[in-house]
Amino acid sequence: EEFSHYFGEKKFVNGLEMLEATVSFYLYLAGNKAEWFLLLHRYYPYKLAKDNIACRKSLEDIYNCFVDIFEKALVQGQADGSIGALSPRKTALLILSTVDGIVRFKNCNLYDAGALYNELIATIRRMAANQNQIT
């Protein structure tokens, strides 16, 4: 719902810009709704999900929602030429893993996530951007 509201109000020049905005919004949401992410980062829900089909389905739905949002930006970028030829789903999983790992650093008080923001965006841009197009 938060992502739908955010993206309903935004217009993006291309898919690469949408991808960068998605990363930024994920980090914003992780800070603004920290309790959601703290719950997702605990071991107990995954332990429960091993035996509880409803819990497993809920966790899958949450993570699929996140991956779908990153994938949508990648697919849009491939259509407009701003994103290179790569697997949108696998790349979305890699991006989510990276961004969520930074959120975990912050939530565990291991590292200041804000200090990594510029490098994170630059890394994702290098990973996803169409190298044949000047962006």
pLDDT tens for each residue of the chain, 135 residues long:
677 777 777 889 999 999 999 999 999 999 888 888 888 888 888 899 999 999 999 999 999 999 999 999 999 999 999 999 999 999 999 999 999 999 999 888 888 888 899 999 999 999 999 988 754
Report whether 127 contacts 94 (CB < 8 A): yes
Cα–Cα distance, 77 to 37 (Å, whole number):
28
Ranges of each domain in the chain = 13-128
Report whether 112 contacts 106 (CB < 8 A): yes
Strands (DSSP E) contained in the chain are none
Question: Would you give the distance in Å from CA 100 to the centre of its chain?
Answer: 7
Interior/surface letters 33-62, b for 16+ CB within 10 angstroms, e for the rest: eeeebeebeeeebeeebeeeeebeeebeee
Looking at the domain that runs over 13-128, which CATH code has it been given?
1.10.357.10
